[in-house]
Amino acid sequence: MSLYHITPKLKECIDSIDSLDTSLKDKLVSKPYISRQNLINLYTTYKPTKSLLQLLSTTSLYIPNKNIQDVIPKSKEFIKSMELLRLKVKEEEYQRLVNPAPSFTALYEQELTNSDYISPAKAHKELKSQITTIFNIFISVASVVYAIWYWTKSSWNLPDSYRILLCIFFGLLILVAEVVVYMGYLNKIEEAKLKERRKKEIKTLVKSVKLS
């Protein structure tokens, strides 16, 4: 839709039309521009000039500073949808601020983001925990073997060959038991992580603050 300036010449031309109602004149010049269709209707109805070209020569093309969409009144639905979109963008920005993604970008960034990211500190902590567990298992096996070795000598006074076999048997038994218990513990932790990932997080917007 073409728009034209309400220039002093055009305004004077409109004011010179005696048959045109005063309220309509005021309405036509109330804005700094007039549409092409209104200008054509003005000429065809009242003939203020000898030709339409002469009427157009009294004005110039009006180019608004803002987008042409700003000239058209926005509906309530459009304003509401734009407000919801703005709130969604702000919520995404807030989530990125609170939960920053790893500082790298790759082709499979989405897959890397969804998987468990192990930081150096976390990896060191897990390694330390594994070493401690292995040391504790070794202490348990050594303690049981020593107890069997001592008990078979003091109580039963068995030959060394039988004592060695009993120590190996109970040592392996304790070792298997410790490993089974530890593996069960790791499986429970992994199941808890998977269960936590499957939970759907429900977010509710309690209050929104408009930032200028």
Q: pLDDT per residue over 51-85, tens digit each? A: 878 877 888 877 776 554 545 566 777 787 778 88
The per-residue pLDDT for 206 is: 63
Q: What is the mean pLDDT of residues 114-127?
A: 72
Beta strands at 3-5 and 33-35: parallel, antiparallel or unpaired: antiparallel
Greater pLDDT, 161 or 208: 161
Of the given ranges (91-100, 141-150, 176-185), which has the lowest mean pLDDT? 91-100
Query: Over 90: is that where the pLDDT of 143 sits?
Result: yes
Greater pLDDT, 167 or 74: 167
The per-residue pLDDT for 112 is: 44
Q: Across all residues in the chain, what is the average pLDDT?
A: 78
Could you tell me the two tokens for 188? 């429970």
The per-residue pLDDT for 205 is: 60
| 135 exposure class (CB count in 10 Å sphere: 0-12, 13-18, 19+) | exposed
The per-residue pLDDT for 126 is: 83
- The answer to whether 171 and 138 are in contact (CB under 8 A) is no
What's the rounded Cα separation, in Å, for the pair 8 and 2? 19
Query: Over 70: is that where the pLDDT of 204 sits?
Result: no
The per-residue pLDDT for 111 is: 44
Greater pLDDT, 163 or 65: 163
Beta pairing partners, 34: 4
Could you tell me the two tokens for 130? 């594994």
DSSP-based three-state secondary structure for 162: helix
Q: Tell me: the pLDDT tens digits for 45-58? A: 888 888 878 877 88
Beta pairing partners, 4: 34, 61
Greater pLDDT, 60 or 98: 60
What's the rounded Cα separation, in Å, for the pair 130 and 141? 17
Residue 148 CB partners (closer than 8 Å, separation 6+): 163, 166, 167, 170, 171
